[in-house]
Structure 1
């Protein structure tokens, strides 16, 4: 009887431990077939111009592990490890990195959440808030916005995310550089963001600064959307300033778009964007991009899609023109 009671107690303790912690395997497999055509001043550019299979039309393919442990009193320990890969050839998205997208550990509770490691910047929390064309590779915002540099995960990052209160939430992140020498200071990157999401309205503002020995780069992103039911209106505005010794450049960028639900499992999204680059106040370049896509949900986890993107960039006044056209049909599966 005593042995039975001990076995029962051990089993109960193990069950309690398992209930307090969890680990999840997840991922995205996204592949599309289509054509990319790049022309510079009317002449096709190779190998940029190709017809075939390509990874990540709607979402970059990835797999990851994430988990949490209940520490009691509302406090949790969390982690996330995420690796990107190319579904067309099976290669790592970034060679030499085991977890190229995310690798962090942290704590969460009533105070919010803290992440330590390779984590996405606070700027990224609002960068795609109102992106058209499902924030995919076909979206203008992902083809011509210079400020997307800050919409990424960075090494050696400390990030804090506030709890959501009445639709408001915010985040701040700081990334330590490891490039300090005897004569130069280490680089650093920090960003902050705030957003409001309640009912049909969503609006967010992000700011980021990359401080390096070669100069400072700052970015601002304002994004918002309003859901009218029959259509969802999208708008984003960004600005990038680059200060290097002897020169200053500024890029203004904007995108307008719409999401239209055509049926319970069918949606259309389209958008147009434009950027203008100035150096020391003189216009030296411009670009515009149009994208549109249809997404049909076969299930909660599987979507087929088709879309196009047309982007044109040119130098001023040299008038060196580059045109890129993309035609895609793809399949996305999440697990």
Structure 2
């Protein structure tokens, strides 16, 4: 018995020496003051990025393996709610997962952003701003797809010479029409970035939908050129955007972009944005922007503001 206890103690001590673990508290606090034409001024949480906080951790299991976890919750800075107004108090509503990573890549289990969502926004103008960006305010597919389904399984490969890929799905668990399956392929090397994403979404709309997105950016030095194409098959919607990020100083970037969304048989919904970001430090950025839309976007499916001006502050920790 004594020998057994000694052996177990030695094993535990060895395991403690090998296993290296860390836990990190992180988040984003982002708030914008904006004014739409013929409307009162509003203070909105998440002008560029959704405000959030989270806890993540990893443990080195040895042999190149790591276990990890992540809990992430959206926060509304304007009213203190956890999550959006329609899911206030819903807990860790953005992501909750357990993962295992190694030379094979990484696999995650839980509530996870889909592989399609991974490439959304990567090549959008106006910093992909929630409140000021032309894509977020015009694109149908930006809102219609299911971004982070429950009961998810996700796998991402390592990067091979700039190429990487990911695939995700989820379990229905007895709930009909609740499967969300997606994949992406990305290439990033030097100034060039290209990404393709696809999602078959049974939860989208009344009939479900199939979404495709292709995005690319190229840094020519004086500016980074941006372009995105998207399609929602069942809704019969085609979308595209172009833009450019222009660094005018070491800590100032201007971004301009134009987006269009058109459903078959309907008028094209269009909008454009001009935005500026001023880095006050590595963690804090002040920003401002202007958005303008055509009448079809204001009165149609997008429900975009006629015009909008906003100024905001974003801090990461």
Using structure 2 for the length normalisation, give the TM-score.
Answer: 0.88
State which of 127, 147, 154 in structure 2 corresponds to 1:152. 147
Provide the rounded CA distance (Å) in 2 between the counterparts of 1:211 and 1:332: 35
Corresponding position of 1:205: 196
Provide the rounded CA distance (Å) in 2 between the counterparts of 1:301 and 1:99: 24
- Describe the SS at the equivalent of 1:215: coil
How many aligned positions are there? Answer: 300
Which aligned pairs between 1:118-267 and structure 2 lie closer than 5 A?
Answer: 118-137=111-130, 138-148=132-142, 149-150=144-145, 152-178=147-173, 180=175, 185-211=176-202, 214-242=206-234, 249-267=235-253
**C-alpha contact 1:33 1:54 (8 A) present in aligned 2:** yes
Q: Which has the higher strand share?
A: 1
Higher Cα radius of gyration = 1
Q: In the TM superposition, what is the alpha-carbon distance from 1:216 to its structure 2 partner?
A: 3.5
Corresponding position of 1:6: none
Provide the rounded CA distance (Å) in 2 between the counterparts of 1:95 and 1:162: 35
Distance 1:106 1:307, change over 3 A: same
Q: Write the deviation string for residues 207-254 of structure 1: whole angstroms up to 9, x where unpaired.
A: 111136953300100000000000110000000012xxxxxx300000
- Describe the SS at the equivalent of 2:90: coil
Q: In the TM superposition, what is the alpha-carbon distance from 1:18 to its structure 2 partner?
A: 9.6
Corresponding position of 2:51: 61
Provide the rounded CA distance (Å) in 2 between the counterparts of 1:304 and 1:125: 25
Provide the rounded CA distance (Å) in 1 between the counterparts of 2:146 and 2:289: 23
Structure 1 runs not aligned, ≥5 long: 1-8, 38-43, 243-248
Corresponding position of 2:77: 87
Moved more, 141-150 or 81-90: 141-150
Provide the rounded CA distance (Å) in 1 between the counterparts of 2:36 and 2:174: 37
Provide the rounded CA distance (Å) in 1 between the counterparts of 2:173 and 2:82: 24
- Describe the SS at the equivalent of 2:150: strand
Cα RMSD (Å) of the superposition?
A: 2.6
Distance 1:310 1:104, change over 3 A: same
Using structure 1 for the length normalisation, give the TM-score.
Answer: 0.83
